[in-house]
């Protein structure tokens, strides 16, 4: 057999996994790997401008494409810079393989230059991690890494490879099969539990389906739509679940939770059967836990991760299994039922809640951020891939951009990482989706990974950046206004760069927008005239605009603060 060095084995493994793009940043400990990357053209490398950006980009690629995202970083600071990206992916169960360089095995533990205990540091924010100590283990370990990352409840896997291991020589054989005695993720749900769940659904008078990110991850939105349409049940989404059910379908109640719609929150609280699929009863989703659990209703919980079941809320019918498989089985059972539940009364109640139009907002001389998102949705016909940052703009995007298909909404839901938006947009650009890619961001978030404007230029990515600029860290400002008697401690951005000139300095197009009537023409200009350019729209929005409805921390889901325009 042909002998090759460890670095070439790494690249061959990536090729075997059909990886076409990796995101990374070179450095001393990964020199061998970068040298092998240079010698081939199957695996294309995207050079970001920061390791955090590389991991976020790989994460954005994974979210948009449904494939495993791959990032390569060097040892020490390369690895520590990657940690935020890894933790972000971990909280949202995104499949990643992050390859980090490590100092030579003989130097490990010697406080060598650019040494850190990468496996130790990342242990708490990965699904699993490996340190490869021998060249003969590279192929099997990478095979395991990809398998673990994408199966079961997906997640990031870190593979730490010392420099000498990438230089050592060995033959290459990619294992066809894997036997992992300690890792056997379930797929099919327990048929008895599924039967019980269906029986409950068929008897429901006031049902609600709550679909989360798990539906997106298991590519089960078609099956979810089948179920909801067969039964004519109302559907709500968690932040991570947006797009798993068509946002324009009349059965869709909008998002639930801290910034959920009145109808979604009220229905979730007052239903008699709640079918939660691929969601984990996060504190931002259910509000006060006692209030949520105290409601008189039966809960069915479908999730692939047994530890998600009854972790925060005791459920009545747990079903552990892959969401797609379980939904398919449910649909089969429902088909066999002759009578569908009559929930006409329940729909009337829901329509009354919906009739209060909880997303209405006041308009005036200033640009309302909600208006910008609505215009963006109209102009892109809801077809764009939206990469969002974290803050008020994220919530407005979630509320006002109606996602009709999964994998169009990329955002950091669990960890809430500011700065993901631009690198997510970069990553998604390589997923080959043929749709416009938009980054919705704020003046705080965009500056956390602004350096990726260079990556976008280098690869000529025509991303449209919708920057809702209110000169504030808006979400924190909103909390200060509502709960800290308007003491705006360190949330006002006194100085801002000139974002238009900043975009131009990176070789992009910048457009400043200051009046409501200019919003639509500016968006048109960006999407039509500058179709092939990256355009940064610096949109100066009403600084006092708040995200409503809002469930204050510690309050129950039905205890909503509504906009004063209602």
Partner 1 sequence: MRHIISLLLENEAGALSRVAGLFSARGYNIETLTVAPTEDVSLSRLTIVTKGGDDVIEQITKQLNKLIDVVKVVDLSEAAHIERELMLIKVRATGKDRDEMKRMADIFRGRIIDVTDSTYVIELTGTCSKLDSFIQAIDRGLILETVRTGVSGIGRGDRILKL
Catalytic residues: 51, 113-114, 163, 475
Smallest separation, CB 407 to partner 1 (Å) = 25
Quick one: 235 or 319, whose CB is closer to partner 1?
A: 319
Q: Is 109 in the site for partner 1 (CB under 8 A)?
A: no
Would you give the DSSP letter of residue 190?
Answer: P
Smallest separation, CB 314 to partner 1 (Å) = 8
Distance CA 237, CA 285 (A): 10
Q: Is 363 in the site for partner 1 (CB under 8 A)?
A: no
Dump strand ranges (E) for 398-484. 409-410, 437-442, 464-469
Quick one: 305 or 481, whose CB is closer to partner 1?
A: 305
Query: Restricting to residues 290-329, which ones interact with partner 1 according to CB under 8 A?
Result: 305-307, 309-311, 314
**Residue 478 and residue 547 in contact, taking contact as beta carbons nearer than 8 Å:** yes
Distance CA 424, CA 441 (A): 11
Distance CA 189, CA 185 (A): 11
**Interface stretch with partner 1, choices 17-25, 58-66, 122-130, 406-414 (CB under 8 A):** 122-130
Quick one: 314 or 524, whose CB is closer to partner 1?
A: 314
Quick one: 181 or 365, whose CB is closer to partner 1?
A: 181
Smallest separation, CB 321 to partner 1 (Å) = 15
Distance CA 244, CA 223 (A): 10
Sole binder of partner 1 in the list 18, 42, 44, 124 (CB under 8 A): 124
Q: Is 108 in the site for partner 1 (CB under 8 A)?
A: no
Tokens (6 digits) for 514:
């200051």
Q: Is 180 in the site for partner 1 (CB under 8 A)?
A: yes
Q: Is 128 helix (H, G, I), strand (E, B) or coil?
A: strand
Query: Restricting to residues 387-426, which ones interact with partner 1 according to CB under 8 A?
Result: none
Smallest separation, CB 124 to partner 1 (Å) = 5
Quick one: 152 or 436, whose CB is closer to partner 1?
A: 152
Sole binder of partner 1 in the list 21, 49, 63, 127 (CB under 8 A): 127
Sole binder of partner 1 in the list 119, 334, 405, 552 (CB under 8 A): 119
Query: Restricting to residues 132-151, which ones interact with partner 1 according to CB under 8 A?
Result: 148
Quick one: 306 or 543, whose CB is closer to partner 1?
A: 306
Which residues does 152 contact at the CB level (< 8 Å), separation at least 6? Answer: 183, 185, 186, 304, 305
Smallest separation, CB 307 to partner 1 (Å) = 4
- Going by their DSSP bridges, the two strands 509-513 and 550-551 should be labelled as unpaired
Neighbours of 505 (CB within 10 A): 13
DSSP 374-412: HHHHHHHTT-SEEEE-SSHHHHHHHHHS---STTSEE--
Tokens (6 digits) for 176:
């066809």
Smallest separation, CB 239 to partner 1 (Å) = 23
Q: Is 72 helix (H, G, I), strand (E, B) or coil?
A: strand
Q: Give the length of the chain.
A: 566
Q: Is 183 in the site for partner 1 (CB under 8 A)?
A: yes
Quick one: 130 or 252, whose CB is closer to partner 1?
A: 130
Smallest separation, CB 119 to partner 1 (Å) = 6
Q: Which of 477, 401, 409 is nearest to 443 (CA)?
A: 477
Distance CA 247, CA 242 (A): 8
**Interface stretch with partner 1, choices 119-127, 222-230, 277-285, 371-379 (CB under 8 A):** 119-127
Q: Which of 83, 87, 71 is nearest to 27 (CA)?
A: 71
Query: Residue 317 belongs to what H/E stretch?
Result: strand 317-320
DSSP 466-531: EEEE-SB-HHHHHHHHHHSTT--TT-B------HHHHHHHTT-EEEEE-SHHHHHHHHHIIIIITT
- Dihedrals φ, ψ of 25, to 5°? -155, 120
Sole binder of partner 1 in the list 1, 39, 181, 290 (CB under 8 A): 181
Quick one: 144 or 393, whose CB is closer to partner 1?
A: 144
Q: Is 120 in the site for partner 1 (CB under 8 A)?
A: yes
Sole binder of partner 1 in the list 45, 67, 128, 230 (CB under 8 A): 128
Smallest separation, CB 113 to partner 1 (Å) = 23
Which residues does 356 contact at the CB level (< 8 Å), separation at least 6? Answer: 262, 562, 566
Distance CA 58, CA 236 (A): 29
Distance from first CA to last CA of the chain, Å, rounded?
A: 74
Smallest separation, CB 193 to partner 1 (Å) = 16
Smallest separation, CB 146 to partner 1 (Å) = 14
Quick one: 131 or 547, whose CB is closer to partner 1?
A: 131
Q: Half-sphere exposure (CA, 13 Å, Cβ side) for 539?
A: 33
DSSP 419-475: T-HHHHHHHHHTS---S-EEEEEETTGGGGSTTHHHHHHHTT---EEEEEE-SB-HH
Quick one: 118 or 370, whose CB is closer to partner 1?
A: 118
List the Cα angle 255/436/51 in 5-degree steps: 85
Binders of partner 1: how many residues, by CB under 8 A? 19
> Binding marks (x or -) toward partner 1, 210..249, rule CB under 8 A?
----------------------------------------
Q: Is 171 in the site for partner 1 (CB under 8 A)?
A: no
**Residue 5 and residue 32 in contact, taking contact as beta carbons nearer than 8 Å:** yes
Q: Which of 472, 497, 496, 492 is nearest to 547 (CA)?
A: 472
In the complex, the residues that contact partner 1 under the rule CB under 8 A are 119-120, 123-124, 127-128, 131, 148, 180-183, 305-307, 309-311, 314
């Amino acid at each position: 057999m042909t002998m090759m060095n460890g670095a070439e084995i790494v690249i061959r493994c990536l090729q075997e996994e059909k990886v076409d793009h990796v995101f990374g940043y070179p450095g001393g400990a990964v020199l061998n790997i970068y040298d092998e990357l240079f010698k081939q053209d199957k695996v294309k490398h995207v050079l970001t401008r920061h390791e955090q950006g590389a991991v976020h980009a790989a994460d954005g690629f994974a979210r948009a494409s449904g494939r495993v995202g791959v990032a390569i970083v060097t040892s020490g600071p390369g690895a520590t810079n990657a940690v935020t990206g890894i933790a972000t992916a971990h909280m949202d169960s995104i499949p990643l393989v992050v390859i980090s360089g490590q100092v030579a095995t003989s130097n490990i533990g010697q406080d060598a230059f650019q040494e850190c205990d990468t496996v130790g540091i990342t242990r708490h924010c990965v699904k699993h991690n490996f340190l490869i100590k021998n060249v003969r283990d590279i192929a099997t370990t990478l095979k395991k890494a990809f398998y673990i990352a994408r199966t079961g409840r997906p997640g990031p896997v870190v593979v730490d490879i010392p420099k000498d291991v990438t230089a050592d020589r060995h033959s290459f054989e990619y294992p066809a099969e894997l036997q992992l005695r300690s890792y056997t993720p379930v797929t099919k749900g327990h048929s008895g539990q599924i039967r019980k769940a269906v029986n409950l659904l068929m008897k429901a008078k006031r049902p609600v389906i709550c679909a989360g990110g798990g539906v997106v991850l298991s590519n089960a939105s078609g099956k979810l739509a089948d179920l909801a349409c067969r039964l004519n049940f109302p559907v709500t989404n968690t932040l991570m679940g947006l797009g798993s059910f068509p946002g324009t379908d009349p059965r869709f109640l909008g998002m639930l939770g801290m910034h959920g719609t009145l109808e979604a929150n009220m229905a979730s609280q007052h239903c008699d059967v709640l079918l939660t699929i691929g969601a984990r009863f996060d504190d931002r989703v259910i509000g006060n836990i006692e209030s949520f659990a105290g409601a008189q209703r039966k809960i069915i919980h479908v999730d692939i991760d047994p530890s998600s079941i009854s972790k925060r809320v005791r459920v009545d019918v747990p079903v552990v299994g892959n969401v797609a498989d379980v939904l398919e089985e449910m649909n089969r059972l429902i088909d066999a039922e002759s009578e569908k539940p009559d929930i006409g009364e329940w729909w009337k109640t829901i329509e009354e809640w919906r009739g209060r139009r909880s997303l209405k907002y006041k308009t005036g001389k200033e640009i309302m951020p909600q208006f910008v998102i609505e215009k963006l949705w109209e102009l892109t016909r809801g077809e764009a891939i939206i990469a969002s940052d974290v803050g008020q703009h994220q919530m407005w995007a979630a509320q006002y951009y109606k996602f009709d298909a999964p994998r169009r909404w990329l955002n950091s839901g669990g960890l809430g990482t500011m700065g993901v938006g631009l690198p997510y947009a970069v990553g998604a650009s390589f997923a080959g989706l043929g749709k416009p890619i938009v980054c919705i961001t704020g003046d705080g978030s965009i500056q956390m990974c602004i350096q990726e404007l260079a990556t976008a230029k280098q690869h000529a990515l025509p991303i449209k950046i919708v920057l809702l600029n209110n000169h504030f860290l808006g979400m924190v400002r909103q909390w200060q206004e509502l709960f800290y008697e308007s003491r705006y401690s360190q949330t006002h951005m006194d100085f801002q760069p000139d974002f238009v000139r900043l975009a131009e300095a990176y070789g992009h197009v910048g457009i400043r927008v200051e009046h409501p009537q200019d919003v639509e023409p500016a968006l048109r200009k960006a999407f039509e005239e500058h179709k092939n350019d990256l355009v940064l729209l610096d949109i100066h929005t009403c600084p006092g605009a708040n995200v409503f409805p809002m469930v204050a921390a510690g309050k129950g889901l039905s205890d909503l603060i509504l906009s004063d325009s209602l």
